[in-house]
Structure formats: C-alpha cells, structure tokens
C-alpha cells in the first residue's frame, strides 16, 4: 500500500486539532495528535500494517477511505477518467433546457458593483415581439425535435420587473406549451425587489414564477447607499422589506446578501433587523444566502476571509433561529459544508449543452457576466433555431484536452474541482477561477470540526466517523 496523492493534512495554528482529507474519495478522518500522519510519513510508499501506530480496524479504514491505496493504483488516471466521463455525460445530456431571459438591461438602481446602470442605457431597450416569438418557437422546437423533458427559466436583467407585463405574457405562453406537451417547467426571477408589490407577487404566483431572489446588502443605512435608488433613496430598504413581508405565501424567497470588506461588519445588524421585522426566520418561505462580491476591487474578501466570516454568520443564524423557534431548537441543525464528490459544476459555460442566456436584442451568451457586450456575443437566437446552438457549443465546450491544457490534471484539488468558471480564462486569458476549496479547504473544514467538538448536536451531518 502507498500514500494517496490526494491527501491533505490539516491542522489548526496550535496543531492541537488534526484532520486528514482525501480529495479522490472525498473523505475526512480525525487524526488524534497526528498519529496517522506520522505513521504514513514514516512508511510513505510502503505503508504496511503496524500495530504500534494503528489498530487493524483503523488500518482497514484508511484503505476504505482512500488515505492509503494499492501500489498498482494510478489515482491520477482514475481521476482523469472520472472527469472525462462526467464531461462527456454533461455534453450528451439533452433532457433539460435552461434559459436565462433578459427582457431589459435597464435598471432602476445604481449599485456600486453592478455591470449595468440606467444612465448607460437607452430607455427603449426592451425585448421586441420578434425576439419573444423566436424564443417561444425555440422552446417548442426543443420539445418536438430535441425531446426536452424539463425547462428551467430564469428572468434576469437589468431589473426584469421593469418589463413585468412582457414577462407575464411570455411565461403564460411557456406554461401553455409545457402543459400541452406535458413538460416540467421551473421558473424563477432575480430582482432587486423594489417593484415587487403584493399585486405583482400575486401575478408571479399565478403564472408559476414562484422562486424569487432578492438582494439586500446590509441594514437600512448601508443597503440604501450600496444599492442606491435615485428616485427614492431613503425608502429603498423599507420598501423591499415590506414587499417581501407582504408577498404571496406560495413564493419562496432567497435573500442574497453580497458581502465585501465595506459591509461585513454590518451583516449581523441586518440579520437582527430582518428578525425585528418578522421576515426571517418567522416566514417559512424566506431563506438567507451570504455570497462574496466579485468585482476585482481591493474591497473584495479573499476566499479565506469570506470562509471565516461565513462560518461565524452561519452559527449566529442558527442560534437566532433556535432562539425564536424554541420549540424546534433541538431540530435546528447546520449542514457541514463539504466538497461535492466529483466536483462542483454549477458553471454551465462550456459543459451544459442546453444552457443559454438570451439578451433582449436576441444576442446569445453562455454566461451572465458579458451580457450586453456585443463583442462577446456568441451569436443570436437564430443560431438556436438553426441547430439548437450545436455549432456554437462545439466551439466553446470544455473537454479533456482543454482541461489537460489548463494543467488541472496535476492539481491535488482536481477530483473536487468541477472545472469552475471558464469565462475569464477563455475570453480574457486571465487566470482561471479554480474551486473555492483551493483557498478555503483548511479553514472551512477545521473551523466546522472545532465547532462540532464543542457542540456536536448542532450539525445535521458530519463527513467522518463519530
């Protein structure tokens, strides 16, 4: 037996707490006083059973958990084969059609980190009847000719609710098509929430748009500055909170909290504010998500900084939830944040065959980032009507040759990477955005483990033997 090439030996600053994580098997082992690490370090390429270091049961566990592997096993090639198989499977998947539709790039806000501003757009920039009809035609063709079984729609902008009536009209047609062909249809909208009146939420619910993401960037005095609404700058935060509170109960809200160095110290104040307004956790249809701002400015948090902050906020939210819902206190649990087996492949830029972003003018993209930049358009809606975008996908798809060119095969994080964001790398020759675990593995796993040692009952699951 030999040491796995994908082992990570983790310890806190005092080296009192030690863990071993294996990226190939995605396993985590408690290593009391570094005993297992010392054992493996002594034998390296010939890890034989030695009762002075481990019990026979522990030795067998090290094998099953991938910490030590058979001499003849080529882990690198096994990881490459698994990644290649996953990419091929995603390339060939034809059953799900995911469309992000942008009815307008106009926005009523002027957020400091956003790529769009009302001042840079023309007031007549909204989706035309022709583009609407082309999208509907493409959906029908995808069902009849490409045998799509599930359709995911995201309404995005700009501020999409500036074109509420167009959204409702198109969604009505999509619903009729899905009902006729017995196709599953999941629709959501990403909005700043200011125009989300009770009437509008009722209409969205009526037309089947029952998932809404709204961004709140801090308590009132912070949010109103960061997500500036020129027409009524002092009532921005209050209006959004009132809209969420009064919204149709069938709608599920995800409140996204964008975090950087400028607002991180105010997030607990925001959570307390949402509690006082009885928005969270009082309303069962509202959940919170913290996310780092990615603006390439010196105010952005590093991966480690965000990970440590996120751990503190998650624990605070859990304690507050248990405090308010005291009758459920014993059932309120934290999930142990952990890498995804085989990698996190949320980015569909070069791997998902049927995932497209359609701008209001019919321009076609694979990613939200470059929307509105003509030079980065991959084509138009007409390309989808011609061949379902197959010719475009062949130009940009990520395959094993490209992954090898990137140097991913030699990386210890390769089994859990998922070949993340490709946009900057392919289009701007910038460094790839590797998996977040590359920067946060030690701190995220170690912080959660130490919290588990103090309060084991607050976790719903742990990725190691208890």
pLDDT in tens, 61-117: 999 999 999 999 999 999 999 888 888 887 777 799 999 999 999 999 988 777 554
Q: Which of 162, 158, 160, 163 is nearest to 116 (CA)?
A: 158
Q: Are 321 and 313 in contact (CB under 8 A)?
A: no
pLDDT in tens, 258-285: 999 999 999 999 999 999 999 999 999 9
Max mean pLDDT range (34-38, 203-207, 293-297, 384-388)? 203-207
- pLDDT score, position 117: 46
In the DSSP assignment, the letter for residue 15 is S
- pLDDT score, position 197: 97
Pairing status of strand 96-101 against strand 110-111: unpaired
Q: From residue 135, how far is each of 8, 165, 360 by CA, in Å? A: 48, 16, 11
Which CB contacts under 8 angstroms, 24+ apart, belong to 25-28?
25/65, 25/66, 26/338, 26/339, 26/340, 26/341, 26/415, 26/416, 26/463, 27/65, 27/66, 27/67, 27/463, 27/464, 28/338, 28/445, 28/463, 28/464
Q: What is the DSSP string of 426-462?
A: HHH-PPP---THHHHHHHHHHHHHHHHHH-GGGBS--
pLDDT in tens, 221-247: 999 999 999 999 999 999 999 999 999
200 pLDDT above the threshold of 80? yes
pLDDT in tens, 27-70: 999 998 888 888 888 876 677 777 777 788 888 999 999 999 99
State the Cα angle at 436 between 213 and 287, rounded to 5°: 25
Q: Are 67 and 464 in contact (CB under 8 A)?
A: no
Computed over every residue of the chain, the mean pLDDT equals: 89
- pLDDT score, position 342: 65
- pLDDT score, position 119: 45
414 pLDDT above the threshold of 60? yes
- pLDDT score, position 449: 93
- pLDDT score, position 393: 84
Beta-carbon contacts of residue 226 (< 8 Å; ≥ 6 apart): 111, 112, 113, 217, 218, 262, 263
Q: Are 397 and 350 in contact (CB under 8 A)?
A: yes
What is the pLDDT confidence band of residue 123, given thresholds at 50, 70 and 90?
Answer: low
Higher pLDDT, 326 or 197: 197
């Amino acid at each position: 037996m030999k040491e796995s090439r994908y082992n990570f030996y983790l310890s806190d600053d005092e080296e009192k707490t030690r863990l071993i994580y294996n990226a190939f098997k995605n396993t985590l082992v408690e290593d009391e006083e570094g005993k297992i690490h010392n054992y493996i370090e002594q034998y390296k390429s010939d890890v034989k059973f030695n009762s002075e270091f481990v019990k026979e049961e522990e030795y067998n566990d090290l094998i099953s958990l991938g910490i030590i592997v058979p001499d003849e096993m080529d882990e690198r090639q096994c990881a490459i084969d698994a990644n290649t198989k996953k990419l091929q499977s995603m390339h060939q998947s034809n059953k799900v059609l995911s469309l992000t539709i942008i009815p307008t790039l106009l926005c009523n806000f002027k957020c400091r980190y956003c790529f769009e501003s009302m001042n840079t757009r023309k007031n007549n920039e909204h989706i035309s009847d022709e583009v609407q009809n082309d999208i509907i035609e493409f959906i029908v063709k995808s069902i009849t000719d490409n045998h799509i079984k599930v359709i995911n729609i995201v309404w995005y902008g700009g501020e999409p609710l500036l074109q509420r009536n167009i959204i409702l009209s198109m969604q009505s047609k999509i619903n009729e098509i899905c009902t006729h062909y017995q196709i599953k249809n999941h629709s959501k909208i990403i909005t700043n929430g200011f125009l989300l009146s009770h009437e509008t939420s009722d209409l969205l619910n009526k037309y089947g748009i029952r998932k809404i993401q709204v961004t709140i960037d801090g308590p009132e005095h912070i949010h109103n500055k960061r997500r500036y609404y020129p027409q009524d700058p002092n009532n921005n935060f209050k209006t959004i909170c009132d809209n969420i509170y009064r919204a149709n109960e069938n709608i599920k809200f995800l409140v996204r909290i964008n975090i950087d160095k400028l607002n991180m110290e105010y997030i607990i104040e925001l959570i307390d504010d949402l509690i006082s307004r009885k928005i969270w956790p009082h309303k069962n249809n509202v959940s919170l998500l913290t996310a780092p701002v990615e603006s390439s400015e010196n105010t952005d948090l590093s991966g480690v900084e965000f990970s440590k902050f996120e751990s503190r906020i998650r624990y605070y939210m859990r304690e507050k939830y248990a405090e308010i819902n005291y009758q459920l206190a014993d059932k309120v649990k934290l999930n142990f944040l952990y890498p995804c087996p085989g990698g996190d492949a949320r980015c569909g830029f070069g791997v998902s065959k049927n995932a497209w972003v359609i701008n209001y003018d019919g321009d076609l993209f694979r990613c939200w980032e470059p929307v509105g930049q003509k030079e980065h358009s991959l084509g138009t809606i007409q390309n989808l009507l011609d061949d379902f975008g197959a010719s475009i996908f062949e130009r940009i798809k990520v395959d094993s040759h490209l992954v090898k060119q990137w140097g991913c095969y030699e990386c210890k994080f390769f089994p859990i990477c998922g070949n993340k964001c490709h946009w900057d790398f392919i289009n701007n020759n910038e460094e790839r955005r590797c998996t977040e675990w590359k920067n946060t593995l030690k701190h995220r796993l170690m912080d959660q483990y130490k919290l588990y040692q103090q309060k084991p009952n607050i976790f719903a699951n742990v990725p190691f033997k208890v």
